Structure 1
């Protein structure tokens, strides 16, 4: 909250001396939004700056028509089409305008799966090569196909979700999968 004297000074500088908001803010050491808020509370309508005309403005109806017919049409192709029609600008600004004009894809409904700790386990798959039991080995089925075996345990991304070790205790080393 600013003092009433500062509010009066803001109003005097704005109405009496016709100073802009930024100048008043700099002179009084206030933020420009504070000056705008005081002026708004005093009933001063905020200045609305009219947007400047753009080089793309004459071509917007054509862009809307083309994007309505072909919503997946690339910006580079639209740029070439506008250049043939006399567009004097560059592709970067046009790409931004096309992004605003392009029809949006409808949002898909989805429901997030939420589970409590310990309710669900996640398993990654790894290839271990041949399985040896005693002197017997189980060969691969085909040389080009891998034999997937489950590697049970939390994924590395789930490490952050685990509880930290108790104070004074070290975290046990994680078992590693053997290399093929």
Structure 2
């Protein structure tokens, strides 16, 4: 910044006929600065600036979140952040909140006025379990209907695209339909990226899946968490209300059976904190789009050959199929939620609970019906030598040669 004294020196030097380059060299300033100040009539008032650490900076994200949740009372938020370590005053907080209030107000209107059948929100939650003595991650797929707050939850082994699509179809079957739109964050299985104009680029296969079932994709923009706040609250509700109830489970399918019982007996019949009504009661007003009868091909099949003992090998374990398929090539489909299906020529020939162990055999007894017990191979006996009595040598009568000569003479006389 050029000080007041320098401003007048520059003006005087210019009046003496010095060039801008000469003035800049003389004062050690940039020529652009000299030229700009020569165009001014008066110098700017000098302002002393001191960089101070902003006390509210670590708490701004939390303040935004609380405002988007509907809390616009600065005193309440001030008490909360002060308990978390904030040392500034309430005036700084109010100044920060003031320009956000109109935005939050408009956002709150969109959040709490979702029309029936208009929108569902989807998200994942991560949970840790003791899996046969080892720590393992499971993932909870959560879908909540925006109007009624009806909830669907299921646990899976991963968050792959095939798993996500399978969860959607089971959620649609649970609700008996689907909303006009589904809202997501930036999960990679749904959002592939953005184009040059900043518009979202959807995962191509998932976009086809959505089109097949007749719902539109919507993305929650960064720093606008209110658009998927319902499902985030749903994930938190699962973590706080359902997860502490789970003491043991035998396998992933059993865990999902417990989840379904909880949904029907507790989650969807409780008095919701926001609507003050039961989700199941508001669900009667949801106007969902009907289900599509034709299934979307969502899972890659694993080709296997049925062994002679009528078993199919998959991920270290073996699963039975009916004996008539011995020697045939079949397709194994893992739904990644505790179930195994085995297909032959596009028909399901066997279904099993997925084993959580290794080198185990999972079988149904009826798959082996029709095998005759007498066809079981018997051990081949060892060859046993037999004692055979020796044949007697026939007796040979010994005659003198004169006898043979006599027979010869008699034959000649007859001739």
Place the TM-score, normalised by the shorter chain, in its bin.
Answer: 0.3 to 0.5
Superposition TM-score, scaled by structure 1 size: 0.34
| Structure whose alpha-carbon radius of gyration is higher | 2
The answer to which structure has the higher strand fraction is: 2
TM-score relative to the length of structure 2? 0.16
